[in-house]
Amino acid sequence: MLHPLEETSILSACELAKQVHLNGEALTILKSASLTLTDGESVAIVGASGSGKSTLLSLLAGLDRPSGGEVWLLGEPLSTLSEDARARLRRDRVGFVFQNFQLMPQLTALENVMLPLELSGHPKPEAAARAMLERVGLGQRLRHYPKHLSGGEQQRVALARAFVIRPRLLFADEPTGNLDAATGRQIIDLLFQLNAEEGTALVLVTHDTELAGRCDAIYRLVDGRLVGARP
């Protein structure tokens, strides 16, 4: 499948391939994966464990380099950019939510949320971060360190950190993977609520088909290829 680069697309991948070398043996994780995402759109990527979903996400977000193919992120072809240039591209435009939260343990909830604002030179990082934490219902826990927060609370801080910069695009890798069903549902509701309010495009990697069903499109990763399309 080949998706032409559309005018409105903010993310587009074309025949992505990824091979890694392990102990001298080449291991092919992705063969040919293509997809396109327009502004404000949400897509889900599903697939069996070990099928390469996280790998694909890392390529789409420019965290890693593909062995073949090309990714256009926010209009830029990533293959032409250095790791640092890709980092600058992500800054204040791309948000992340991970299965294991990835909060900075040495920073309080508030400081974690302030971090991306500070990086992008926001004039009033504290006020904005405070407001965002209140939006996710953690207005009372500003000064708490991650280790004193429950899994669900940590993930809400992560969501706040991701949305506080009003990103054009959000990558989420199994955001509910470490949470119980009820907490997971709360997080997902929050995710889609913010997604809708902020008009953020969303790439969601998940096992959960019900969750995937709430997205505008579902892709399935099978044997290194992306199949399926927008309904």
Partner 1 sequence: MSAWHRLMWSLRMARRELVAGELTVLALALFVAVTAMTSVAFFSDRIERALTRQATQLLAADLVLNADAPWPEAFRAGAVARGLELAESASFPSMVMAGDAATLATLKAVSERYPLRGALTVQAGGAEKSAGAPAPGTAWLDARLMAKLGVKQGDAVEVGQRRLTVAGQIVREPDATLDLYSFVPRLLLNHADLASTGLVQEGSRIRWRLMVAGEAAAVADYRREASARLPRGARVENVEEARPEVRTALERARRFLGLTAMLTVALSAAAVALAVRRYLARHWQSVAVLRCLGLTSREVGALFTGLFALLALAAGALGTVAGFGAQALLLTLAAGWLGADALPAPGPLPWAMGPLSALLLLGGLALPPLSTVRRIPAVAVLRVELPARRVGWLTPLAAVFVLLTLTAYLVGETVAALWILAALAGFLAAVGLVALAAVLLLRRLPLAGRVGWRYGVANLARRPALAMIQVVALSVGLMALLTLTVVRADLIGAWRASVPADAPNKFVINIQPEQRDTVADLFALDGRRAPELAPMVRARLVAINGRPVRPAAYRDERARRLAEREFNLSWRDSLPEGNRVTAGRFWAGQGAKPQFSVEEGLAGTLGIRMGDTLSFDIAGSVYKARVTSLREVPWDSFRVNFFVLAPPDWFSRQPASYITSFRLPADEEAFASRMVERLPNLTVIDVGVILDEVRGVVERLAQAVEAMFVLALAAGVLVLWAALTATRDERLFDVALLRALGASRRQLKSVLLAELACLGGLAGLLAGLGAMALGSVAALQLFKLPFFANPWLPLLGLALGTVVVALAGWPLLRKVARTAPMTVLRRE
Ligand X SMILES: Nc1ncnc2c1ncn2[C@@H]1O[C@H](COP(=O)(O)OP(=O)(O)OP(=O)(O)O)[C@@H](O)[C@H]1O
Interface residues with partner 1 (CB under 8 A) are 54, 57-58, 61-64, 83-84, 86-92, 94, 96, 98, 100-108, 111, 115-116, 118-121, 145-147, 173, 178
Structure tokens at 228: 């399926």
- 149 sits in which H/E element: none
Residue 50 interacts with, from partner 1, ligand X, Mg ion, none (CB under 5-8 Å by kind): ligand X
Measured from the CB atom, the residue of 98 and 214 that comes closer to partner 1 is 98
Structure tokens at 227: 């199949």
> Could you write out the DSSP letters of every residue in 52-95?
SHHHHHHHHTTSS--SEEEEEETTEEGGGS-HHHHHHHHTTTEE
- Among the listed ranges 47-55, 105-113, 122-130, 158-166, the one in contact with ligand X (CB under 6 A) is 47-55
Q: How far apart are CA 132 and CA 197, in angstroms?
A: 13
How far apart are CB 13 and Mg ion at their closest, in Å? 17
Does residue 54 bind ligand X (CB under 6 A)? yes
Contact positions with Mg ion (CB under 5 A) in 78-97: none
List b or e across 159-189, with b for residues whose CB sees 16 or more CB atoms inside 10 angstroms.
bbbbbbbebbbbbbbbbbebbeeebbebbbe
- Among the listed ranges 1-9, 42-50, 104-112, 125-133, the one in contact with ligand X (CB under 6 A) is 42-50
Residue 51 interacts with, from ligand X, Mg ion, partner 1, none (CB under 5-8 Å by kind): ligand X
Helix segments in the chain, DSSP class H? 53-60, 83-90, 109-119, 125-135, 151-163, 181-198, 209-212
Does residue 54 bind Mg ion (CB under 5 A)? yes
Among 12, 52, 156, 161, binds ligand X (CB under 6 A): 52
Structure tokens at 63: 């965290």
> Binders of ligand X: how many residues, by CB under 6 A?
12
Query: By rule CB under 5 A, what string of x and - marks binding of each residue 2-41 to Mg ion?
Result: ----------------------------------------
Q: Are strands 9-22 and 25-38 parallel, antiparallel or unpaired?
A: antiparallel
Q: How far apart are CA 224 and CA 12, in angstroms?
A: 17
Residue 28, CA distances (Å) to 31, 106, 164 in order: 7, 37, 37
How far apart are CB 64 and ligand X at their closest, in Å? 8
- Among the listed ranges 3-11, 45-53, 107-115, 191-199, the one in contact with ligand X (CB under 6 A) is 45-53
Residues of this chain that interact with ligand X (CB under 6 A) are 20, 22, 27, 29, 47, 49-55
